[in-house]
Structure 1
Amino acid sequence: MPSDATAFTLSEIIWRLGVATLCGMVLGLEREWRGKDAGLRTHALVALSSALITASALSLYAMVRRQGGDADPLRVIQGLAQAIGFIAAGTIFVARRSVKNLTTAASVWFSASAGIVAGAAQFSLLAVAMGFGLTILVVLKLLDRFGLARSEEGE
């Protein structure tokens, strides 16, 4: 049974974040096969970040409703997610027909997602997401070094 801090059990959290990560990886792999700039790690981080923000918003909404409140934490999270998109976009630039720093932008957005979740005291959700995020950034980078995945330019 979920605690008051979350609307989901740990297995639900792992399932939701895992499915999002795998979907992002599949999309990114397809992009890599086509030689596009945004690849496996970028798409995986964006998908994971979206799931993380969504799960956090749903949990906060359920928590507020259980306590009899009528405040809407979803609007705050939406504003944060939108604002960090502008900040992350500032790290991306184009040079000689090549897009640079896509993974950096995705990791900035992921960091913002982690901050939202930590601020909501959803520590189980945060721990699971950090495990997935670090896997994306470290393990998939190792695959790139061994030639099993193509890295984004100028990360």
Structure 2
Amino acid sequence: MNLSRPYKTNVNKITLFREPSTIEKTKISCSRDIEAFSRQMYGNTISILEDFYIVCLNNSNIIEDFVHISRGGITGTLVDIRILAKIALESLSVGVILVHNHPSGTLIPSQADKNLTQKVKKALGYFDIKILDHLILTENSYFSFADENIL
């Protein structure tokens, strides 16, 4: 290997790009507000496959961005915390809300749901980004980690 020649390669350019949606910015003051907003994101797929979203808020608790993180099957989906943290950082979030659905209709968070919430809380805590809630949606109802004091 000849180290006298400079190594030439193309590098990636990373940009922050926001794609406008038809969903209006919303101020979040309680779990019902995020439930209503989340149902717009899901549309009619809430009882089919499990999807995971991150909702990014500014200092006034106004939604600035929402991002679809993963889609799984009927019984689960995988969430890569590194991707989730990247999105929270790029959006300059002060707080985030995690949202996923349970196609089965059960509102009880699994141990995996609880573990994921704690891992994300710890990871984002290093950047002073707070998890304001983690919502589990079903076709007819929802479960809020914040309302149940398990954040």
Normalising by structure 2, we get a TM-score of 0.27
Higher share of residues assigned strand: 2
Task: Name the structure, 1 or 2, with higher relative contact order (CA <8 Å, separation 6+).
Answer: 1
TM-score by length of 1: 0.27
Specify which structure has the higher proportion of helix. 1
Rg (Cα) greater in structure: 2
